[in-house]
Structure 1
Amino acid sequence: METELPIRKIIHVDMDAFYASVEQLDDPSLVGKAIAVGGGGTRGVVSAASYEARKFGVRSAMSGALAKKLCPELIFVRTNFERYREISAKIRKIFFEYTDLVEPLSLDEAYLDVTENKKGNPSATLIATEIRQKIKERTGLNASAGISINKFIAKVASDINKPNGQKTVPPEEVLDFLEQLDIKKFYGVGKVMKEKMYRHGIYTGADLKKKSFEYLQENFGKSGSYYYNIVRGIHNSTVKPERTRKSLAAERTFSENISSEIFMLEKLENIAEEVAKRLKKSKVAGRTITLKIKYRDFTLQTRSKTLPLYIASKELILDNVKDLLLQDEMKDSVRLLGISMSNLNNEKGKKKEEIPEKTIDVQLKLEF
């Protein structure tokens, strides 16, 4: 099937090392130094790292111990999410000066559809420049941006000239841009998928484009049609101002490993209380409850059950988590426990957006 899709003007704004940059903003003595947000202590995990720390290989989700080994001069700073949310709200306010079609992905990044915008500016490139300038003026922080015809390309483009830069991929350059792109830079291609792509001789977008639709379906399953389309610049997902929350969760990493189920239940009571608070704040309830267990050796286990009715209270959450905890013996001492609620009652029965199996290359001349 051949389908022509509308060309939109999408901006992906991504703050540069957001948490770390906020800490450097608030404490000028940290400017120019290698810092890690979170991660302190023998059990800590890095939430974010400054660009100075990244030069040593320090990355988010890395253990604090490893980060310190890679960068002995690393300075650890405690997280301050209240402050991060405060600045994020200021940034989001700037976005809404240009469009109501804003889809936040997290505190530090968002998609904007500026095809039609409040400023009447036909150039998405100039809008992105203005937004980044206003962010700098009002918060003192730097942002990067990607601008193109859809969300996928805009997100990939926002990484090209980081930090404090932007990249526009206009319609007439989309295909060349994707063909020359290293496959590991395709958004959604992680470490495992990258290795699989390499085994199939796919190292660039051009290599991917040479593979037939049937080949990709046969070797990559349901993802085959997705890869077939994105390398041709086709990505149907629209900017969704109201993203439906799929789950709510809370977890805790302990200062010492615990092996007693009695102690685990004490910890889970506090976690269940936090989950219940978040459910109440979001005015939702859930039917599927999942217990997350991370053992001493960092192996991860999840245990889930789906209930006939929606629940949101701490007591009911804890009762069901207790059943999940006691259904099997622990294989080792535990360093982390978490509870998540999914299958929420805010999910609408929408039909999933259909992606055409085969599409034609679309190139339109628009002012970008």
Structure 2
Amino acid sequence: MPPNILLITLDGARVDVIRRMPTFQRLTGMGSFFPTTITYAPYTIASQCALFTGIYGNENGVDNYYGWRLFKNNLCKTLATYFKEKGYHTKTDVFNRNVFPHQGFDDISLHNENQDDLVARHTSVIRELRNKFSKKQRTFLYLHYSKIHASLVKNVIKRYDDFSTEYFHRQAENMKEYEGYVQEADAYLGSILDECSKLGVLEDTVVVLHSDHGASVGERVGEKVYGSFCYDYTLKAFLLLLNPDFFPGRTFSQQIRTIDLAPTLLSVAGIQNTNTRFKAIRGRSVLPIIEEDEVDQRIAFSETGGLGGPYPSPRRPNVHSIRTPNWKLIYNRATKSRELYNLERDPVEANNKSGQGEEIEPVLWRVLQRENFLRQSG
């Protein structure tokens, strides 16, 4: 029988911070950890639509902050839909219906990210669903941990603008405060996984921990949190897969994309997308990487259009990037400018190599054009 799925999103969790937390460190030794997981969009709405479909926003319709109304549900199947059709009970608890594609869910509940105790709430959800687990009906449960997001809204977004000198000149203090938010998320994970262990859920469940995007702590003036640019402090997410039958305790250095989660879970559950009426999944299962049966490098595409920042464009992406394991090319439509970074030598993206004769630049530019990420409409 295929496993249950417990998918937990840690909204806004930076991989470089959470991997230093005690609970998360313990968990990475128990499962397959991908610390270089590149998100499609550095904000939740488009990121989650890509993750749930395995299809980039330029194809699924959600490529901007207000794009949830444009999701092509008649052409793009979601993880919940796949699992529901497989006979799973599908349930989610989130803070907003518009931050993910809700097609396929049997039960959607909403929490108040500023008031609800998510440890108590989510452990209660797991206990309630345990009867369905034990009765042999498989369950797909998606929990959205929104407290990091809520803290950023309260303490950064509502307090500063994207050019506040007070904020950008205190990066060390910003990081310390942010680490506090992530510590709380780490404690949440410990409580959730302890409850799952007590209930015996982990024996027949694949647990997926991931972030939808990272967050700024003041690295670049013009982006106080996320969504304005395509730099790694917001694009680098993570993926941790827990279940010893499928995922060994090992850290994998290969670059993957958040769109690779959907085909991975479908493969584990034995689900195939054979209906040609729907768009093909663009992501690829990570199982070949785990089984050491993949040698080629995965290219990641990302794009955004900020609500604020120097070039706001909330209804159409205007900053696009293509990333290999070693190089990243960024194109800013507003300024018609490019940035090229050697990530191996310059991981903080400080030295722009565009226009300096690097052979990789025209190659990446052609691929970005070919894949329709420089389209003229959002």
TM-based fold match above 0.5:
no
TM-score under structure 1 length normalisation: 0.26
Greater radius of gyration (CA):
1
TM-score under structure 2 length normalisation: 0.25
Give the number of the structure with larger relative contact order, counting CA–CA contacts within 8 Å between residues 6 or more apart: 2
